[in-house]
Chains A and B, each alone.
Chain A
């Protein structure tokens, strides 16, 4: 269990740019450490985005609960958010010591976030490509078009896709 908590602690330190950006590293690290298999993880991710609350927190809670019950869920959640607090104090101290340029830091973090999102994209795309899952690819394109071209709230894109999935896949 210690290994799992430390994993989420580590994820907490680099999850810049919101939950969807950090999803990729969470996914890769979970698979690397064999905490869940690809299929169970995909289900966990789907559930996490449909329940209220931040996706990364939901995923940490869900995985912790699946593996070690309530204790695992609690510890995972706590260790995911603690790095933000530690980071806050370190950054405050560093900024006064090193006299770094705030604008450049923000730009660097934004570029870093692109790395994380690219990584997320690759790792969520991989399973539907390797299994040549045409239905999922079509739903993905449908969601992409709605996301870019309209102002529909993402939750409705997710729910409508889930319903399409229910009709097509079952």
Chain B
């Protein structure tokens, strides 16, 4: 169990660039120590993708659960959550002093701009690889606008769209 904790701790501490960067590293670690097979890992990954929340957390939670029930979940998810928690606290403490420093501002402004470009890239990838029809696109545009203008209704709008998508898909399934 302690080994498991440190495995996830290490993976999380070294993974720069968000949760998705951790997935291949997790796979490699778990299969090389024979903790999980690749098939088991892929199944966990597909369940995780249907859940909301940070992917690294969901995957580690499910892996822990598979290995040792709720106790395992606690161990793996704490392993994943602790390193970013303390690195953020450390950086936030330092930045509190320098958040108005010109160099810090310029550096984070550049990083922020890159995010705008990369989100555009992710959106492009998603639209390219997802089957959509005219109704889907209409719902996407409509819900996005409501959520953007009235953030209060985000949750309601989001779940109604998911339900609408589901019944649309089901309708197509029957026609086909």
Contacts and interface: CB of A to CB of B under 8 A. Distances in A.
Contacts of A144: 117-118, 120-121
Interface in B96-121: 96, 99, 102-121
Given A84-B61, A114-B140, A165-B109, A52 B122 contact: no
A18 B119 CA distance: 12
Contacts of B158: 14, 25, 112, 115-116
Contacts of B107: 46, 162-163, 165-166
Interface of B is mostly: helix
Contacts of A35: none
Interface of A: 10, 12-16, 18-21, 23, 25, 28-29, 31-32, 40, 42-43, 45-58, 61-62, 65-66, 70, 73-74, 77, 80-81, 83-85, 87-88, 91, 100-101, 104-125, 128, 133, 135-137, 139-148, 153-155, 157-170
B117 to A, nearest CB: 3
B123 to A, nearest CB: 5
B77 to A, nearest CB: 7
Interface in B75-95: 77, 80-81, 83-85, 87-89, 91-92, 95
Contacts of B15: 52-53
B151 A25 contact: yes
Interface of B: 12-21, 47, 49-58, 61-62, 77, 80-81, 83-85, 87-89, 91-92, 95-96, 99, 102-127, 130-132, 136, 139-141, 143-144, 147-148, 151-152, 154-155, 158-159, 161-163, 165-166, 169-170, 173
B9 to A, nearest CB: 11
Given A14-B159, A104-B170, A124-B119, A114 B113 contact: no
